[in-house]
Every structure is written in C-alpha cells, then in structure tokens.
Amino acid sequence: MSEESNIHAECDEQGCFMPRDRRRFLRDSFLSVAGAMIAVGVNKSTALAMPLEFTSADGTSGSMRSYAVPVTDGAQIDKDNEVILVRWQNAMYAFDLSCPHQNTALKWNDKDREFQCPKHHSKFQPDGTYEAGSGRATRNMDRFAISRQGAGVAVDLDKLYQDDTDGAQWAAALVKL
C-alpha cells in the first residue's frame, strides 16, 4: 500500500481535507513564491518560469538568519524558518506569506491577480495591500527586515513589519544588489 493511500482525511466544521504530502507542499510552495514574485512586480509568465529552490540559513545569531545571495533571479524557501527569499531585478526581499489574521498560508489567485486567505477569505493586492471588507484580516501582508551582510543578506525574524504601523520600515524592507 502506498504512503498516500494510508493518509486519512481530516475534518472540521468547514469540511474535510487531506493533510499535506510532500508533492502538495512543493506545488503550494511554488505557487506562493510565484505570487510573491508577482507582488514585487514580476509579470506572470516570468514568475511562473522562475526557479524555486529550498535553502537553509548559512548562519544563525539570535533572531538573525544569514543567506547567500543567489547568482540569478529566483526564489528560495527556508521552510525551517518560514522565510521566502526573492531575488528580483537587483533587489532581495524576505516575505512572510501568512495571513496577518491567523497565520494561514496565503494562496495566489491568478484569475483575480491577488493573494487570498483560504481560511477566512481575506484578499490582498499583489503589493500586499488588504482589500477592506474581504475577510477577517485588518491589515496588509507583512515583510521581514532584510539587510546586507558581507557578500550575503541577513533576515531578522524578530522584525516583521506591518505596513499600517511600520510604513517606512515596510517600504524599506529590501536590499538593493
């Protein structure tokens, strides 16, 4: 019997769903990263063609995680630290793609060109702006602080900026390469 055939559906008040398996995790991760790329101004066809890789921090010091700068544009997921790193057009970004309401993983809706929370249906524009009244979220998506560290970058997991309260820091949460 295969591993997938041993997986049982889990049910709650909103219905039944299958627990994530590796293939589903990889697919959802790719789509989330493509959504992040679109959020920073990448056209859809380029975002979907960009390489997706898994990475881990090269170094750790308290809440800081250091990463090498990728040679080419693309996205990397550090699943241990729940950080998505994006290199695009001579800049690096670190995103948290969880809904600011209850930390549910956001999904990219290509048809409507927006992020959506599958749990409470909050919607966000590609730049992370919350669409008022669309769900239970009350603010925009968040970005991690990111800085240059030697030849690489450092992401501070303790500095997650909210656009509505940390507007200047949120806008500055990128590294020019």
Per-residue model confidence as pLDDT tens digits over 59-92: 999 999 999 998 887 677 788 898 878 777 788 8
Within 10 angstroms of residue 40's Cβ, the number of other Cβ atoms is 17
Report if pTM > 0.75.
Answer: no
Angle subtended at Cα 155 by Cα 145 and Cα 27, rounded to the nearest 5 degrees: 105
**108 vs 138: which has the higher pLDDT:** 138
Instruction: Provide the pLDDT confidence category of residue 53 given band limits of 50, 70 and 90.
Output: confident
Which of 170, 126, 166 shows the shortest CA–CA distance to 144?
170
Which domains are delineated in the chain?
A: 15-176 (2.102.10)
Q: How far does Cα 13 stand from its chain's mean position?
A: 27
